[in-house]
Structure 1
Amino acid sequence: VHRLIAPRDQKHQSNFVEFRNMSKIVYRRYAGLFFCACVDTNDNELAYLEAIHFFVEVLDAFFGNVCELDLVFNFYKVYAILDEVFLAGEIEETSKQVVLTRLAHLDKLE
C-alpha cells in the first residue's frame, strides 16, 4: 500500500487508487502521515475521503494538535476513537462533539 500511494503527486493525482480486483484505496495525507481506507469499488470515494478528514479532526481535538507520536504511544486511544467513528466499516457517528463526549466518559473509566 505504501508503495502505491507514497510516490503519488498530491497536486496532479487523485486520492483514490485502484487496489486488487474489487477495491480501491482512499487516502489523505496530513504532513508526513497517510490515513488510508480500503473501500469497495461501488462505495462513494468522496464520502470516505470526508470520513478520513473527520477522523483526523477528532484526533486533533482529542489530542490537541495530533502528531505521529500521539498515534504511536496512544494507539489504544486511537482504536477507541476509530471504534466511535466507524462501525463495521460504515460511518457510525458524524458529530465531533458526541464522539468527544463519549471519549471523555471512556477516559474517566481509566
Structure 2
Amino acid sequence: MMRFMLLFSRQGKLRLQKWYLATSDKERKKMVRELMQVVLARKPKMCSFLEWRDLKVVYKRYASLYFCCAIEGQDNELITLELIHRYVELLDKYFGSSVLKAIEQADLLQEEDESPRSVLEEMGLA
C-alpha cells in the first residue's frame, strides 16, 4: 500500500503532497524534510529505490521535479515506478507539456532571485 506521494523541486520546495494514512502535521513535516534531504543528496546514476525507515521509497525525476512515493516493504518497486510514469503522462496529457516546463521555469527564476550574488560574480562586479 502506498503511504504517501510527494512532488518537490531540485531546490527542495514541496509542490504537492498526498498522504494515504493519518499522520500528524509535525510528523509529516519531519518526514518530508528528511526524505527530501535523502533523495536530493543522491547522484543521478543511483538506483531510484531506497530503504527509508520501515518503508521503500521509489522516486523519479522529470524536468526539475522529483516524484516520490513511499510504499510498504512487500510492495513492488517497479509497479510504483510505472505508476509515477503514468501519473506524469496523465498530467502531461491533461495540462499539456507546458505544465512541467512552467514549473521548471518558475524554479529557475526563483533560483536566480535567491542568488543575486552569483549574477554579480558573473558580471565581474562582486
- Report TM bin, short chain: 0.5 to 0.7
Match of 1:18 among 38, 51, 75: 51
Task: Give the aligned partner of residue 44 of structure 1.
Answer: 76
Alignment gaps of 5+ in structure 2: 1-34, 104-126
Structure having the higher strand fraction is: 2
Alignment of 1:54-93 (within 5 A): 54-65=86-97, 66-67=99-100
In 1, the alpha carbon distance for the partners of 2:57 and 2:102 equals 24
Q: Deviations over 1:73-110 (max 9, x none)?
A: xxxxxxxxxxxxxxxxxxxxxxxxxxxxxxxxxxxxxx
- The one-letter code sitting in structure 2 at the alignment partner of 1:7 is A
In 1, the alpha carbon distance for the partners of 2:61 and 2:71 equals 17
Find the residue that maps to 1:41 and give its secondary structure.
coil
* Greater Rg over alpha carbons, structure: 2
Cα distance change on mapping 1:39 and 1:58 into 2, 3 Å: same
User: Offset of 1:62 from its aligned partner?
Assistant: 0.5
In 2, the alpha carbon distance for the partners of 1:15 and 1:69 equals 25
TM-score scaled by length of structure 2? 0.50
Q: Percent of aligned pairs with the same residue?
A: 43
- The one-letter code sitting in structure 2 at the alignment partner of 1:53 is H
Task: Give the aligned partner of residue 41 of structure 2.
Answer: 7
Task: Give the aligned partner of residue 96 of structure 1.
Answer: none
In 2, the alpha carbon distance for the partners of 1:15 and 1:67 equals 20
CA RMSD of aligned residues (A): 1.5
